[in-house]
Amino acid sequence: VNFSSDNVAGISPEILAALAAANTGTQPSYGEDAISARLERRLADIFEHEVAVFPVATGTAANALALSTLVPPWGVVYCHAEAHIAVDECGAPEFYAAGARVAGIAAPHGKIGVDDLAALLPGGKGVVHHMQPAAISLTQASEAGTVYGVEETAAIAELARRHGLGLHVDGARFANALVHLGCAPADITWRAGVDVLSFGATKNGAAAAEAVIFFDPAKAADFAFRRKRGGHLFSKMRFLSAQLDAYLEDDLWLRNARHANAMATRLAKGLQQIAGVRLRHPVEANELFVEMPDPLIEALFAKGFQFYRWDGPRGNCVRLVTAFNTAAANVDAFLTTARGVNRSE
Ligand SMILES: Cc1ncc(COP(=O)(O)O)c(C=O)c1O
């Protein structure tokens, strides 16, 4: 049983079937195909807005390319200190933005607040010696498994607008956040003031597909060139688009995310009943950060459960991630084992 990541899961059968269905006949290349056109229409419907959509194959490419459109080489992107763009992308955002700076802000539970940002702004705006504040990036759901609410997002967007900054959302787990909020996709994006979204699908059932979505197509004017230059203009684009199209069809993305989140909640509820176990952050999506005694961690490893220690090899916090296909029986097996170990301690 593997709770290491949602990336360890396979592909949703519906998406695999869509790939097979796309594999008949011929289609124009480089995104000129009918599936890519259908995907763009579908996303415009879902977001209730005109959109410019650019499929890419990794979240890192989506984030780095999206941010490169918002910031000049001398620009600063503000984000949480643990944001994927700050710590897990090998400097891709700085590279794609030709030298821009990603500035991480430490804040509780994986989320930056309007006060954290307000304290740093205007931050040398207009001073020729300083890098220039240019964008804010929020991770939705966050690296701590928490979710930005509509009002929190709108307040940050308002601050961004006031200071002339762009607002990007890293939505590698956007569906998990959305089903937690229960709002319309528009409410937590363009209506709240988001300019560009990295719309994730890989972690929630696709093989390798994410989409950069601009809510003001004028802001996407040069994106096609950036994507090509960045090596993410796929000649057989229809296979990326087919994954995303199937992901959205019949609300598969929402069903998958609801299941993953429900499994995380089930784990959280069970773990909270066990003495010595503490949740570090509220469980709002599909990730849990759990502090537990070392013997319990070791006993779970010994029983074959897979997951990561989060604070280094000696730390007593572990990360558990559920996915669209996590079996309830596996969640229960983890809980039963944990309870058993605790009783025998
Ligand atoms: C918050 C977040 N953003 C983006 C990504 C996308 O990363 P990748 O480039 O591995 O697809 C991940 C994956 O771990 C993530 O957790």
Q: CA–CA distance from 11 to each of 77, 250, 286 (Å)? A: 33, 17, 17
Cα angle 235-59-170, degrees, rounded to a multiple of 5? 130
Does the CB atom of residue 170 touch ligand 1 within 6 A? yes
Does the CB atom of residue 60 touch ligand 1 within 6 A? yes
Q: Coil, helix or strand for 170?
A: strand
Q: Pocket of ligand 1, candidates 77, 80, 82, 84: which has the most ligand atoms within 8 Å of its Cβ, to mutate?
A: 84
Task: Check residue 143 and give its pLDDT.
Answer: 98
Residue 122: asked if its preceding bond is cis (omega within 30°), the reply is yes
**In this structure, are residues 79 and 85 in contact, taking their beta carbons and an 8 Å threshold?**
yes
Rg over CA atoms, the chain: 21
| Alpha carbons 208 and 201: distance in angstroms, whole number | 8
Q: Which two tokens stand for residue 212?
A: 């950069």
| Alpha carbons 68 and 150: distance in angstroms, whole number | 25
**In this structure, are residues 13 and 328 in contact, taking their beta carbons and an 8 Å threshold?**
no
DSSP-assigned letters across all residues of 180-226: HHTS-TTTTTGGGT--EEEEE-GGGT-SS-EEEEESSGGGGTTHHHH
Task: Check residue 8 and give its pLDDT.
Answer: 96
Distance 190 CA to ligand 1 centre (A): 22
Task: Check residue 341 and give its pLDDT.
Answer: 84
Q: Pocket of ligand 1, candidates 8, 60, 77: which has the most ligand atoms within 8 Å of its Cβ, to mutate?
A: 60
Task: Check residue 299 and give its pLDDT.
Answer: 96
**In this structure, are residues 67 and 97 in contact, taking their beta carbons and an 8 Å threshold?**
yes
Does the CB atom of residue 59 touch ligand 1 within 6 A? yes
Q: Pocket of ligand 1, candidates 203, 210, 212, 243: which has the most ligand atoms within 8 Å of its Cβ, to mutate?
A: 203
Closest C-alpha among 251, 178, 174 to residue 6: 174
Burial of residue 150, with CB atoms counted within 10 A of its CB: 0-12 exposed, 13-18 middle, 19 or more buried? middle
| Alpha carbons 218 and 299: distance in angstroms, whole number | 55
Pick the atom of ligand 1 nearest to 210's CA: 11
Backbone φ, ψ for residue 130 (5° rounding):
-105, 150
Task: Check residue 35 and give its pLDDT.
Answer: 98
Cα angle 241-70-217, degrees, rounded to a multiple of 5? 50
**In this structure, are residues 159 and 114 in contact, taking their beta carbons and an 8 Å threshold?**
yes
Burial of residue 175, with CB atoms counted within 10 A of its CB: 0-12 exposed, 13-18 middle, 19 or more buried? buried
Does the CB atom of residue 6 touch ligand 1 within 6 A? no
Task: Check residue 176 and give its pLDDT.
Answer: 98
Pick the atom of ligand 1 nearest to 139's CA: 1
Distance 115 CA to ligand 1 centre (A): 26
What residues have CB less than 8 Å from 157, skipping those under 6 apart? 167, 192, 193, 194
Q: CA–CA distance from 183 to each of 95, 125, 260, 306, 323 (Å)? A: 35, 35, 18, 33, 21
Helix (H) or strand (E) holding 92: helix 92-96
Q: Which two tokens stand for residue 172?
A: 């590698």
Q: Which residues of the chain register pLDDT less than 70?
A: 342-345
- What is the pTM for the complete model shown? 0.97
Distance 254 CA to ligand 1 centre (A): 19
Task: Check residue 337 and give its pLDDT.
Answer: 95
Place of tokens 């959205």: 248
Q: Which segments within 43-115 are labelled E, that is strand?
A: 52-56, 75-80, 101-105
